[in-house]
């Protein structure tokens, strides 16, 4: 089995979501040290027409679980977008990490050529697994995690590149 698709998806999803979880902890510490409710940060956005921090986290999780499931040929779990608190967002990240980690590497065999079907803006799109992972899923994950990072940094949370990259 060629482990590339597993390593390029699950390993990256795990590292990125763990880093996102860690910067949310720093957001809570920042809010507490400055004497304001962390919910202010959860509702923050970079521009009026962009999603809030909460939605950025939800989409990052959806991207990771959806990509892992589609590539492995298993059903994508449904997570309701009901999180309104930091602990709820962190629980969503933990639930996503548990799902992704629970998919065996062997399920990714042949996933580079597996046909992936998804709905984008109410239209069905089909593509090879490798194209889906490298041209859509990973860029989408990085976009939403980067935006979450930028929202927090813009609001004074002391995070840097090492926080974004994470450790593992």
pLDDT at 49: 97
pLDDT at 41: 97
For residue 45, what are the contacts with CB-CB under 8 A and spacing of at least 6? 51, 52, 53, 151
- We report the CATH number of the domain holding residue 111 as 1.20.120.450
C-alpha count within 13 angstroms, C-beta hemisphere, residue 79: 24
| Mean pLDDT calculated for residue range 2-15 | 91
Structure tokens at 12: 């990256």
pLDDT at 119: 84
- What total of structural domains would you count in the chain? 1
pTM of the predicted structure, to 2 decimals = 0.95
Residue 145 has pLDDT above 60, yes or no: yes
pLDDT at 1: 54
| Mean pLDDT calculated for residue range 124-150 | 96
pLDDT at 2: 59
> Cβ atoms within 10 A of the Cβ of 157, count?
20
pLDDT at 121: 85
Q: Domain range spanning residue 77?
A: 4-165
For residue 128, what are the contacts with CB-CB under 8 A and spacing of at least 6? 112, 113, 114, 115, 116
pLDDT at 3: 79
Task: Work out the percent of the chain whose per-residue pLDDT is above 90.
Answer: 91
Q: What are 87-119's pLDDT values in tens digits?
A: 999 999 999 999 999 999 999 999 999 999 888
Matching residue, tokens 């940094």: 153
């Amino acid at each position: 089995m060629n482990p590339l698709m597993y390593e390029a998806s699950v390993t990256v999803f795990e590292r990125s979501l763990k880093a996102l979880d860690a910067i949310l902890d720093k957001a809570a510490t920042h809010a507490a040290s400055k004497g304001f409710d962390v919910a202010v940060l959860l509702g923050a956005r970079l521009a009026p027409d962009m999603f809030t921090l909460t939605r950025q986290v939800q989409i990052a999780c959806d991207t990771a679980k959806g990509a892992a499931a589609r590539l492995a040929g298993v059903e994508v779990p449904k997570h309701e977008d009901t999180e309104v608190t930091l602990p709820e967002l962190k629980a969503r990240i933990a639930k996503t990490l548990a799902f992704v980690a629970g998919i065996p590497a062997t399920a990714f065999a042949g996933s580079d050529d597996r046909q992936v079907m998804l709905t984008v803006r109410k239209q069905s799109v089909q593509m090879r697994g490798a194209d889906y992972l490298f041209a859509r899923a990973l860029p989408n994950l990085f976009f939403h995690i980067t935006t979450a990072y930028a929202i927090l940094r813009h609001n004074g949370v002391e995070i840097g590149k090492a926080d974004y990259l994470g450790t593992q």
